[in-house]
Amino acid sequence: MVDTTSLTRAVDHFADRLRAAPQSRLQRAAAAEALGLARELARRAQLLEDPSAEPREMPDAGMFAAADQITVAGHDLALVLQSEAEVEEAVRLVEEAQKRAGV
């Protein structure tokens, strides 16, 4: 079994920072960056679960739902990752998105 603790911690940290961010920061770019990350994490999880199916895109539920969306997508992905390399790549995606979001 692969240890995905680093991924869930990174996702939870980003989500906490989003929840604490002012609305103006969310409107500028943070929420859009988080939605993009959530969509990518969800896409990766779906492809690992069923490589033959076309991944469904996570809907835009609004800027105040962005933290919850990355949390759900990140934890879902953590459940299906199969190698340490996949975990490291997912953590890198989260950390880069958080930097771009500025939170």
Question: In the chain, what percentage of residues exceed pLDDT 90?
Answer: 97
The predicted-structure confidence for 29-68, as pLDDT tens digits, reads as follows 999 999 999 999 999 999 999 999 999 999 999 999 999 9
Question: What's the pLDDT band for 1 if we cut at 50, 70, 90?
Answer: confident
Q: Which two tokens stand for residue 7?
A: 């991924």
Q: In this structure, what are the phi and psi dihedrals at residue 44, rounded to the nearest 5 degrees? A: -65, -40
Q: What would the two tokens of residue 22 be?
A: 């002012």
Instruction: Give the whole-angstrom CA distance, residue 33 versus residue 29.
Output: 6
Question: What residues have CB less than 8 Å from 48, skipping those under 6 apart?
Answer: 77, 80, 81, 82
